[in-house]
Amino acid sequence: MALRAALFVALVASAAADAAPAKSDAHETKAQKAEKRLQAREDRARSGRKEVDKGLAEMAKRHAHLIALANNSKQLDELSSEIELRVQPTLSGKQRKSLEDDYELNMNNIRQQNMSAADAQQAVAGYEAAVNKNLNALSDADHKDARNLRRALSKERSAAHSEVNLMAKATKKSLRAMGSPTGLEMAMQHADKTEHEYDSAEDDLQHQKDKLSDQVDSLHDQIDDSLEDVYSKVDDRVQARANDLEDDARSRKAQAHQALAEVAQTMKLSGSMSRVEEKLNRLETTIQKNSHASQEELVSSAVLVRTNTVCMALIAAGLAASLVMHTMQRRTESTSIRQPWLLA
């Protein structure tokens, strides 16, 4: 009985002895896990910081490139040309040349048209219809090319801003990958760090992240400003090219309208001259008729004058004869009276 009790006590003591190291091993494993988690957090913060620095370096490089580009006229011209080359023309070179040649041909036909010809008005109307058809095709193509050019510039500018936005987002993502300061603090607590240690580590990480975030935002704003500086200068070049296209369309229309106005004026003058010539012909005919009538009247007047003259002469001769006879009669009477007085 006593032997059994002794054996039991020995067995319990042996089991207790074996249990003590096992408990100690379990305690060490928990501490090691906490330390490993803390190490992982610290590695994560360092890795994230490295990626943030890399992103900031890329953004700074882009900013410097844009500043240099904004001050380089040659590169700005090249960028403008690249944008223009990306635009597919509405008309192929062959189509445009065909329309322009046909336009010039019809314009020359209008300028060289003989306006005194009987079918001049009809011919000019046909040439004018052909010119308007060519003008509409060329003008529509020029306006469309100008719109496409402006659209390509807008698309290019938007793509540049989107690329910068992606750079900033990637850098902010790396910043978030550094982990939260609170998470680092808790990991240090579980690793049995002192309050001073984990408070200091938390504040340091928060300060780093705030500073880096401000740097990302500041660089992002600076890059956006530099992009606008670049593309405002590119916009001037692209707008000038687009305006040239639209000016070409307006110039051709003005040229055509001027030529047609000159033709219309010529036709008007030609019509006026025709009417004047017709009036002159009528006037000449009238004058000729009046001339013949006047000559006849003059002949009649001469005959009448001659007749009147003869009559007047005859009347005058009659009067003279009458006076002579009257005088002779008076003399005879006077002689007859004197003779009786003398006899008395």
On whether residue 335 sits in a domain, the answer given is no
Query: Do 210 and 312 belong together in one domain?
Result: no
Q: What is the pLDDT at residue 209?
A: 93
- Note the pLDDT tens digit of each residue in 41-64: 999 999 999 999 999 999 999 999
Query: Do 208 and 309 belong together in one domain?
Result: no
Number of domains in the chain: 2
Asked if 171 and 52 touch (Cβ cutoff 8 Å), the reply is yes
- Note the pLDDT tens digit of each residue in 275-320: 545 555 665 676 666 655 555 554 454 444 455 554 565 565 565 5
Query: Do 203 and 314 belong together in one domain?
Result: no
How far is Cα of residue 241 from the mean position of the Cα atoms in its chain? 9
User: Which residues span the domain enclosing 299?
Assistant: 290-326
Query: Do 28 and 177 belong together in one domain?
Result: yes
Query: Do 304 and 167 belong together in one domain?
Result: no
Query: Do 262 and 296 belong together in one domain?
Result: no
Query: Do 53 and 152 belong together in one domain?
Result: yes
Asked if 170 and 204 touch (Cβ cutoff 8 Å), the reply is no
Q: Is the pLDDT of residue 114 over 90?
A: no
- Note the pLDDT tens digit of each residue in 80-108: 999 999 899 999 999 999 998 998 898 88
On whether residue 194 sits in a domain, the answer given is yes
On whether residue 95 sits in a domain, the answer given is yes
On whether residue 47 sits in a domain, the answer given is yes
Contacts of 96 (CB under 8 A, 6+ apart): 89, 138, 141
Query: Do 220 and 322 belong together in one domain?
Result: no
- Nearest-Å Rg of the Cα atoms of the chain is 62
Query: Do 150 and 262 belong together in one domain?
Result: yes
On whether residue 283 sits in a domain, the answer given is no
Query: Do 298 and 246 belong together in one domain?
Result: no
Measured distance CA(157)–CA(180) in Å, rounded: 36
Query: Do 184 and 120 belong together in one domain?
Result: yes
Tell me the residue length of the chain: 344
Question: Residue 19: which H helix or E strand, with range?
Answer: helix 2-70
Tally of CB atoms within 10 A around 121: 15
- Note the pLDDT tens digit of each residue in 195-207: 898 899 899 999 9
On whether residue 1 sits in a domain, the answer given is no
Instruction: Give the pLDDT mean for 151-163.
Output: 94
On whether residue 279 sits in a domain, the answer given is no
Q: Is 193 helix (H, G, I), strand (E, B) or coil?
A: coil
Pick 124 or 71 by higher pLDDT: 71
End-to-end Cα, the chain, rounded Å: 256
On whether residue 280 sits in a domain, the answer given is no
Query: Do 100 and 205 belong together in one domain?
Result: yes
Average pLDDT, the chain: 78
Q: Which pTM was predicted? A: 0.61
Tally of CB atoms within 10 A around 242: 22
Pick 55 or 190 by higher pLDDT: 55
